[in-house]
């Protein structure tokens, strides 16, 4: 099977799965699927960084995460985010007390940074999904980021002349970035205005912020992959690389716009 066919089939499965996950699952099933997606991304992250103890790290996140899904009042979000981070920082210092290098510390720091982003993303999805209008807000955000990504690719192919960040992602152009911002912002804002009756000004402001931050998320993961010398974050999604490759733009952007939307409600 050609790579293009693989990409198309995987994309269709992903879109169908995302619609089912977002709209047709019960709250408890949705929560568990969300946590599992983020934990699989952690597995990819440790594989990409060639770090030992990946499964122990995974367990240290999975146990409190699933307990939080069961009853968020019993396990506060702050404990879920801070305890694994502090615990593994201590483990790293102990195991590297006699031998350390800039590369090993950089890989550990990358792992901590990306894991925290993944957890914030996970809990933003879970927290907002149960709110009134939350499913539609998340759907608009995901739609906007996907439209921005596709638009940036095609606009860049047609008009791209000036490199955006050649040392991080040589294929991205300023023209593609601008095209992605315009079409992605329009898609998210229009969805929120039509489906949620959101104020035009607020919808445009949130959508613009969403898309700009999503580009930073995409470039951040590209910088990480370039630093460790890999093309894709993993192989879980045939033709598309790994889970992180598909959600990298969402990791920083969704939590930020979700927080602002909750403040504005």
> Which tokens hold the place of 47?
């594989």
Residue 125 contacts residue 138 (beta carbons within 8 Å): yes
- CA angle, 54 then 121 then 209, to 5°: 135
Name the DSSP class of 172. E
The b/e string for 92-114 (b: 16+ C-beta within 10 A; e otherwise) is beeeeeeeeeeeeeebbebbbeb
pLDDT reported for residue 188: 97
**Can you say how many angstroms the Cα of residue 173 is from the centroid of all Cα atoms in its chain?**
22
Residues whose CB falls within 8 Å of the CB of residue 130, separated by 6 or more in sequence, listed in order: 27
Mean pLDDT for back-to-back runs of 10 residues, the chain (265 residues):
68 84 88 87 80 68 71 68 76 74 77 82 88 92 92 87 83 90 96 95 96 91 79 69 84 92 85
> Which tokens hold the place of 243?
């889970």
pLDDT reported for residue 257: 95
pLDDT reported for residue 72: 67
> Which tokens hold the place of 148?
């921005």
pLDDT reported for residue 254: 93
State how far the Cα of 225 lies from the Cα of 100, in Å rounded to an integer: 22
| Number of residues written out for the chain | 265
Question: Mapping DSSP to helix (H, G, I), strand (E, B) and coil, where does residue 259 land?
Answer: helix
């Amino acid at each position: 099977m050609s790579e293009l066919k693989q990409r198309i089939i995987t994309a269709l499965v992903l879109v169908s799965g995302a619609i089912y996950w977002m709209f047709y699952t019960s709250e408890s099933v949705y929560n568990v699927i969300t946590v599992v997606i983020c934990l699989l991304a952690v597995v990819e992250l440790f594989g990409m960084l060639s770090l030992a103890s990946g499964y122990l790290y995974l367990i240290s996140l999975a146990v409190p995460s699933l307990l939080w899904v069961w009853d968020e009042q019993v396990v506060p979000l702050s404990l879920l985010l801070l305890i694994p981070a502090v615990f593994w920082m201590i483990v790293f210092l102990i195991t590297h007390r006699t031998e350390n290098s800039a590369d090993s510390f950089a890989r550990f720091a990358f792992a901590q940074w990306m894991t925290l982003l993944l957890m914030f993303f996970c809990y933003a999805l879970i927290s907002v999904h149960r709110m009134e209008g939350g499913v539609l807000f998340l759907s608009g955000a995901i739609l906007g980021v996907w439209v921005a990504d596709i638009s940036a690719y095609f606009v860049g192919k047609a008009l791209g002349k000036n490199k955006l960040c050649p040392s991080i992602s040589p294929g991205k152009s300023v023209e593609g970035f601008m095209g992605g911002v315009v079409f992605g912002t329009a898609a998210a804002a229009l969805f929120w205005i039509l489906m949620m009756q959101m104020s035009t000004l607020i919808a445009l402001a949130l959508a613009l912020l969403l898309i700009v931050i999503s580009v930073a998320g995409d470039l951040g993961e590209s910088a990480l992959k370039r630093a460790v010398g890999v093309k894709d974050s993993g192989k879980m999604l045939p033709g598309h690389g790994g889970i992180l490759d598909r959600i990298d733009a969402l990791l920083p952007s969704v939590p930020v716009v979700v927080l602002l939307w909750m403040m504005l409600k």
